[in-house]
Amino acid sequence: MDVKEGTTISGFILLGFPCSREGQLLLFGLFSVLYLLTLMGNGSIICAVRWDQRLHTPMYILLANFSFLEIWYVTSTVPNMLANFLSDTKVISFSGCFLQFYFFFSLGSTECFFLAIMAFDRYLAICRPLHYPTIMTGRLCARLVVSCWVLGFFWFLIPIIIISQMSFCGSRIIDHFLCDPGPLLALTCTRAPVIELTSSTLSSLLLFIPFLFIMVSYTLVLKAVLKVPSAAGRRKAFSTCGSHLAVVSLFYGSVMVMYVSPTSEHEAGMQKMVTLFYSIVTPLINPVIYSLRNKDMKHAMKKLLRT
């Protein structure tokens, strides 16, 4: 599967999870089920918010948009992964690789911004309850949603365009299940330290700026909640914020392992497992987290199932 040294290549081979043919078929079945469950879970949240008038509030509108984002996020990787399980060559075209690269990282960037504005919404609702209806209007909510999508899809655009214009030599094998910048840059004909530094800097800024914003928001929320005199009020506030904090912890915890620490030192197996967790497992369990800890959402889900 190697290409002679010094030749420019037109496609890549995604190794994915090498194993026997029976193992590949087993993985195909497993990830097909996980993908369908993810689509159903996030789709049910979108439908519940759409059809239940009580959920037509900024908090749930943001949650529905987040679920819509999760559907596309998991779709940027899983269908190609499923095709690879059934393929003998496991080849992805040059354009297909960079399209996946662009959409996967753009959707991931959008998710970081979404988690930040959802924390901002909780801050306003708990710390500024009297001003919340006048501040978090439908227009502002729509603007925040659009801003997240625009920022997310422009954040990595220039580095991706530059990397796509580079020449790739030697082996065209990527020991991953998706087109990741680390393995791609390792296949370039010449080292590109400026691009590597730029990608690393953008990744760090993307992670730390929204994360710090989230932490500051929830620090202020915690201070406000602790001042609530009734235990029932405190429990309700913690329950409302707890699900979002759980999602933030799962996503940021795994992503930071990959993109803040030096990726070149990670073993390929470790890279795959961590990427698998934040790109496939978290979109699967997020609907469960939000549904289990929210009475209004549970009621809307039951109502949806009865229709």
Q: Which is more confidently placed, 306 or 134?
A: 134
pLDDT at 192 over 70: yes
Residue 280 has pLDDT above 90, yes or no: yes
What confidence tier does 7 reach under pLDDT thresholds 50, 70, 90?
very low
Q: Identify which of 223, 157, 187 has the alpha carbon closest to the alpha carbon of residue 12.
A: 187
User: Torsion-angle region of residue 4: left (phi > 0), alpha (psi -120 to 50) or beta?
Assistant: beta
Q: Report CA 296 to chain centroid distance, whole Å.
A: 25
97 close to 179: Cβ distance less than 8 angstroms: yes
Angle among Cα 29, 174, 8 to the nearest 5 degrees reads: 135
Average pLDDT, the chain: 86
* 174, β-bridge pairs: 14
* pLDDT attached to residue 260: 60
55-69, 204-218, 235-249, 279-293: range with lowest mean pLDDT: 235-249
pLDDT value, residue 6: 42
Taking Cα atoms as reference points, which of 66, 61, 64 lies closest to residue 138?
61
HSE-CB at 24 with a 13 A cutoff on CA atoms is: 16
For 214-248, how does the pLDDT look when each residue is reduced to its tens digit (9 = 90+)?
Answer: 999 999 988 888 877 777 667 777 777 788 888 89
More confident residue, 161 or 190: 161
Which pLDDT value is given to residue 233? Answer: 66
pLDDT of residue 296: 76
Q: Which residues, in sequence order, are CB contacts of 99 under 8 Å at separation 6+?
A: none
Report, as an integer, the average pLDDT of 272-285: 90
Cβ neighbour number for residue 22 with a 10 Å cutoff: 8
Is the per-residue pLDDT at 263 higher than 50?
A: no
Is the distance from CB of 132 to CB of 125 less than 8 angstroms? yes
Separation of alpha carbons 254 and 53, rounded Å: 35
Assess whether pLDDT exceeds 60 at residue 125.
Answer: yes
As beta bridge partners, residue 148 has none
251: nearest Cα among 114, 157, 145: 114
Mean pLDDT of 239-263: 77
* More confident site: 226 or 93: 93
The Cα–Cα gap between 117 and 122 comes to 9
Tell me what percent of the residues of the chain surpass a pLDDT of 70.
Answer: 92
Indicate the pTM of the whole model: 0.89
Rounded distance, CA 115 to CA 113, Å?
5
Asked if 254 contacts 278 with a C-beta cutoff of 8 angstroms, the reply is: yes
The Cα 289–Cα 285 span in angstroms is: 6
Q: Where is mean pLDDT largest: 105-109, 170-174, 231-235, 272-276? A: 105-109
The token pair at 216 is 């500051």
Cβ neighbours of residue 198 closer than 8 Å, sequence gap 6 or more: 159
Helix (H) or strand (E) holding 143: helix 138-155
- Positive/negative CA dihedral, 80, 67, 47, 140: negative
Q: Cβ(259)–Cβ(246) under 8 Å? A: no
Q: What band does 172 get if pLDDT is binned at 50, 70 and 90? A: confident
Domains present along the chain, CATH in parentheses = 11-306 (1.20.1070.10)
- Is residue 4 predicted with pLDDT exceeding 50? no
Note whether 106 and 158 are within 8 A (CB).
no
